Structure 1
């Protein structure tokens, strides 16, 4: 036994140098203070926010009373409901049915049960940094609500986004509405043209776009007209969120097959709804038409992949591996895969590495799970060219959430790059260059932001 212990201890001592460092040193060891220098650079860098759903500041009060619930109605609500609060009960708290204190009493048990999640930590971080309020509790909901109401004075967005979050440009996903704020750029979704299950939906689109639809050719002509109208409004990309509703597998359907499906749909009674499998060939065909319009106009295509907000969704629908046939068929289209693919980070590693036209966008992922984002950013920096990763998109309806998210995203980038420098995988200069790419330059180049 003594011989065994001696041998085992000697073996451990032999392995110790290899256990101490997670990487083989490829660069010289950094000069002391590199962590502070990298963090200072990242914290002061003017960045590009690649994905938002922000409403106009003037419209915030129209959505409901401005109180502490304003900070909980997006993303935090997912975890509050997951902790047990019903959707109808939560919805009531967004109205003026109850006083602020009454709202807090109803939501408190569920918030306390879920305040550990990153969604809710983002809220706590934002109220601390913006209002100096350290926690959401019995004694703070009233003063926080008062401060929120006073903040919306017409200058709040610029203060939070420009001065505090240091955002130079923000890419908005807000359908057709546009803000006069020069910070914002826009992408648009054409999912309504794909997510068709009835003749009634086709006719509704025809009415919206003032285009008579009789067959598949006239339907695609209406789509092309809507696309060019959006290009005229200055969109810089196209987004699809259909992973909430169907699989990301879009087969290359022959036109005669799509014609047949569309004819059956249009010859059906107006109130008939077709099952997904019956209309999938038509939906797939339309997606390919949209991608061809994206290619013609030389703009990127953003795909929602991974986690769907809310409940009742099928995660495998959003598996980015389903998109591989599109990457192969449209090698000259740049595809941007959203949300770090959570939880499919390893698949994103292989896709962004293997396809020159596939990019990773970490929008939303930092507040889904900071540790996931750190872990996979380490992996992506080891597997994917640094010009193909974007590290921040707030993905919020409220600017306070965007600000809190920006702090977390910067911290993740700083930490991962500092660890790479500490392990002598990168030099400090290389880390600084990569930080600038991840948080600003890659998005400016990809979306041709001027």
Structure 2
């Protein structure tokens, strides 16, 4: 168990060993098609791109320099010299821990140094061959299917990848209306025309195998169809007018689409919390819609962080809400531990979806999964030691979080798997 924390006790290790036996569902990724990854020229710094780039930027690295280091081929020695001071600042973070676990697993080094940076770069380039996704996801992570965002709908990787599509959002101007819901030129005069375009988009996604539509949480002020129509009229009458995201047309289209997504048999995958102006992404902003649409499936990403208790309360009160722990162990294992600990005291055991790697660098899914198993095991062990759960019951809950719950909520079939 070399990848796990040395402080784990015997019970925690026992639970991890049981969790490692499970075939699981990975409930949020950003993976490009494997053929796209194989066209890239990754190096050691690729492992410190997705999410670690936030630590680099907030630690003071210039964005243009960061782009050259993380996403462009270049001189390894220059990259290391520029990267090292910032790496020293961030190597203790959860984002970097996932990168370090990944690097140790696949490329034989626990941390990046001046002595090994060339060797790690050579190893990652050598491993960048067909079969990489199967090796990491199927063989090492025991993932039945990964729910993916931003990939082409026809990229299924023989069932390993299940795609979602993004909701059309951010209607700021009449130009946006024409571009996003028409051909860019033909006049759009009615909200009904917009909703018809939305329906066609969702139906097409469903027919091509999508399992969900991804949204960013948004403010709901009670916009009516009339409000939306009047806003559309304003935008058309003044092509120079640019509104904020929080406007009646955008809100009405988004709430209508949430209903539409469910009615067409797809799950609403809701990005909440962590990102830019996270205030508008609070899960609590969705409450007016949820109260009126208690059958509409909504998967709350990131457990709402930093609005964790607001998210848990949605799961506590409403039957259509699921708490998705995607990305959470990367943000902070401490927060993820506390959130799971509290959820197990508040929610039925079918409400928690235990893992989503949330990565575009495929190897890092393994690193995140190690952290997820570790955190889940520590929470379950605590509940056992407190007399709250038996070992058998704890393992049942662990299995439900990682396998049964996502399977049921998304309607998956385990074709070809003996689970």
TM-score (norm 1): 0.86
**Equivalent residue for 2:273?**
306
Say yes or no: does 1:262 pair with 2:229: no
- Kept in 2, the 8 Å contact 1:186–1:237? The answer is yes
SS of 1:93's equivalent in the other structure is: helix
User: 1:39 deviation in Å?
Assistant: 1.9
SS of 1:50's equivalent in the other structure is: strand
User: 1:36 deviation in Å?
Assistant: 4.1
Say yes or no: does 1:165 pair with 2:141: yes
- Kept in 1, the 8 Å contact 2:219–2:285? The answer is yes
Say yes or no: does 1:110 pair with 2:110: no
- Kept in 1, the 8 Å contact 2:38–2:130? The answer is no
User: 1:37 deviation in Å?
Assistant: 3.3
User: 1:154 deviation in Å?
Assistant: 0.2
Instruction: Give the distance between the partners of 1:130 and 1:42, measured in 2 at CA.
Output: 21
Say yes or no: does 1:377 pair with 2:340: yes
More divergent stretch after superposition (372-381 vs 172-181): 172-181
User: 1:97 deviation in Å?
Assistant: 6.2
Please show how residues 230-245 of structure 1 align to structure 2 within 5 Å: 230-241=205-216, 243=217
**Equivalent residue for 1:338?**
301
Instruction: Give the distance between the partners of 1:298 and 1:147, measured in 2 at CA.
Output: 43
Instruction: Give the distance between the partners of 2:229 and 2:22, measured in 1 at CA.
Output: 52
Say yes or no: does 1:85 pair with 2:61: yes
**Equivalent residue for 1:156?**
132
Larger radius of gyration: 1
User: 1:99 deviation in Å?
Assistant: 0.7
- Kept in 1, the 8 Å contact 2:295–2:319? The answer is no
**Equivalent residue for 1:276?**
244
CA pair 396-431 structure 1, distance change in 2 beyond 3 A: same
Instruction: Give the distance between the partners of 1:82 and 1:231, measured in 2 at CA.
Output: 39
- Kept in 2, the 8 Å contact 1:175–1:189? The answer is no
SS of 1:292's equivalent in the other structure is: helix
* Pick aligned residue for 1:413 from 376, 391, 397: 376
SS of 1:348's equivalent in the other structure is: helix
Spell out, residue by residue over 1:346-383, the C-alpha distance to the aligned partner (whole angstroms, 9 max, x if none): 22222111111111001001000001001110000010
Say yes or no: does 1:327 pair with 2:290: yes
**Equivalent residue for 2:312?**
349
- Kept in 2, the 8 Å contact 1:65–1:94? The answer is no
User: 1:136 deviation in Å?
Assistant: 0.5
Say yes or no: does 1:40 pair with 2:17: yes
SS of 2:144's equivalent in the other structure is: strand
Instruction: Give the distance between the partners of 1:202 and 1:423, measured in 2 at CA.
Output: 56
Please report the RMSD computed on the Cα atoms of aligned residues, expressed in angstroms: 1.9
User: 1:211 deviation in Å?
Assistant: 7.7
SS of 1:178's equivalent in the other structure is: coil
